Chain A
């Protein structure tokens, strides 16, 4: 097992309580930051660490912090994005449920760096029981003097609240999240202005993912340069990976960036290999939005180099033969999986979650769902396959927020890598009538036959 910077103490009994968390060295980053560092020095450490946003986009966190308008006379806000809803992603829930004080600690240290006096954790409404775990942790932190007025006897005061969403994937997009936090529909805003200038209540605001904020704790404790020594190149530190699908050991794993994908899938320390002794067919490596890759391309790049768990290695080859680390939602499919049916569930998801603001996304996601439904159920035509490619292309890049892209990429990539399987559904409608068609008789690509 590699180095654990976030989950090191996750198995300690009682770690969800303030007492045990503190005994294990918790809240040291708050003491260090508030008593020995200026807010700008904390931001400097985050910059040095090379930490990139863990929600999916991978934007450098320190840079995002430095964009915050510090000259404005309006109050500044830190808002934690705990609206985890990307299919395949459940790492933030795990962290908040098992070690809630890590997030609370990260929120205090980060709020200090940004000069926020009030901060919010926006958590998806379905995680209501996790909200209660966080609220308990916050109450304990107040009681211990880590929240409220004059924290640890310093001039710094902070109030922290948890705010529930109510079932809308779109609220994971930061401007939709802010709209929602203001009590409105979750419609993304046009940018600019960016939240760093005009965010919550039109005030300067930073929105960061749960894991990003948690990572600030080891960054402050170790120093940004030390943190940056973990990982490879511009993929510094550790990453929480949510592993799901057809593997022996689904769950959340903290990996050092740079771990080979093959080791992650097959090692007993991580996924433990493919279930039921079956073969690997495909992986969606970073949440449902990122391009799906067939087994041979997820294990090795097109150049034949071992694929690593880093932003750069997973993206090697662009969208032609690569994918993205995204949120770290690692969905594994065995040889019996129908790629078309899996894609149909994704398309249905994006159709359901489109906020309806932009026509290409509102209409296009529905068309893709319908066309995929008819192909999967044996009513498709050969021209439907290119129709899907065409619709995806017309959504991509033509919407206010990235949900449109997120809906288009899975469709485009599935057809790019598994076109034969779509054609099979059109050619042999009788064979796909049973929803479990490839469990009965796995699909064999003619290309693979040639290769063998």
Chain B
């Protein structure tokens, strides 16, 4: 762990972004920057937060590591284990269920040959179900990185998976331009 820790370091652009974020909060209240910095860290380090990454964020904010762990474990957007290049998060709450979310989940499971919560053997996809994403008028839908894919059908979600499979890791900060009609 100690050797890994030494190699954990934001890129120059992420580091300057982190400093700019910390500056948004009053003197002595830099802990406020924790959630934005964890988002930044997750996007910098392959979509998940290892203990070493969390320790690094703690050092940036001059807070105790436990203050980062207790927060990272509370919020569902932070992945505490490695995830595939494309984390498919399908909304399963009432309004999406009414418009066929269960069929979408089933179709993805068949297409990728995994169950909810699992990652494909090639490490490309992880499938999760999540609670309401505020996209009820365009249901059913899924989120992948920073992109919402809406008004899905069983057919269009297959097309989406095929297109994503050809792409590098989905960004958590920038939406992609993929269109599945």
List residues of chain B with CB within 8 A of the CB of A288.
93-94, 132
- Do A89 and B93 form a contact, CB below 8 Å, given A167-B76, A331-B98? no
Closest to B72 in A: A166
B residues 86-117 touching A (CB-CB < 8 Å): 92-95, 97-99, 102
CA distance A337 to B99 in the complex (A): 10
User: Which A276-298 residues have C-beta < 8 A from chain B?
Assistant: 284, 288
Q: Is the CB of A167 within 8 A of B102?
A: no
A245 and B71 form a contact (CB under 8 A): no
For B39, give the chain A residue with the smallest CB separation: A164
Q: Give Cα A85 to B91, complex, Å.
A: 12
- B136 with A349: CB separation less than 8 A: no
With A166-B39, A166-B76, A331-B95 in contact, do A244 and B136 touch (Cβ < 8 Å)? Answer: yes
Interface residues on B, range: 35 or more
In the complex, what distance in Å separates the CA atom of A68 from the CA atom of B134? 31
Q: Is the CB of B148 within 8 A of A181?
A: no
Complex partner residue of A246 from B76, B98, B134, B175, CB under 8 angstroms: B98
Of all chain B residues, which has the CB nearest A83?
B134
What mask results when residues 238 to 278 of chain A are scored 1 for a CB within 8 Å of chain B, else 0? 00001111100011100000000000000000000000000
Return the contact of A93 from the options B70, B134, B139 (Cβ within 8 A). B134
Report yes or no: B98 in contact with A245, Cβ–Cβ below 8 A: yes
CB-based nearest B residue for A186: B74
Contact between chains at B29 and A185 (CB < 8 Å): no
Contact, CB under 8 Å: A180 / B35: yes
Instruction: Report yes or no: A84 in contact with B134, Cβ–Cβ below 8 A.
Output: yes
A168 touches B75 (CB 8 A): yes
Asked whether A59 is an interface residue with its Cβ less than 8 Å from the other chain, the reply is: no
**A40 CA / B139 CA spacing, docked (Å):** 43
- Cβ contact within 8 Å between B137 and A251: yes
Q: A183-B32, A345-B93 are in contact. Are A129 and B175 (CB under 8 A)?
A: yes
User: What size tier do the contact residues of chain A reach?
Assistant: 35 or more
Q: Does B159 contact A (CB under 8 A)?
A: no
Q: Are A245 and B99 in contact (CB under 8 A)?
A: yes
- Residue from the list A118, A125, A349 in contact with B75, Cβ < 8 A: A125
Cβ of A331 and Cβ of B35 under 8 Å apart?
Answer: no
Contact B35 A337 (CB under 8 A): no
Tell me, yes or no, whether B120 is within 8 Å of chain A by CB: no
A270 to chain B, nearest CB (A): 12
Question: Is B135 interfacial (CB 8 A cutoff)?
Answer: yes
Q: In the docked arrangement, what's the CA distance between A169 and B74, Å?
A: 11
- B24 in the interface, Cβ–Cβ < 8 Å? yes
Residue from the set A86, A184, A337 with the largest chain B CB neighbour count within 10 Å: A184
Flag if A163 contacts B132 (CB, 8 Å). no
Q: Complex Cα distance A238/B172, Å?
A: 35
Considering only CB atoms, which chain A residue lies closest to B29 in the complex? A201
Closest 7 CB pairs of A and B: A166-B75, A183-B34, A244-B136, A167-B77, A183-B31, A167-B76, A250-B137
Q: Which residues of B contact A (CB under 8 A)?
A: 24, 26, 29, 31-36, 38-39, 61, 63, 67, 70-71, 74-78, 92-95, 97-99, 102, 130-139, 143, 146-148, 172-175
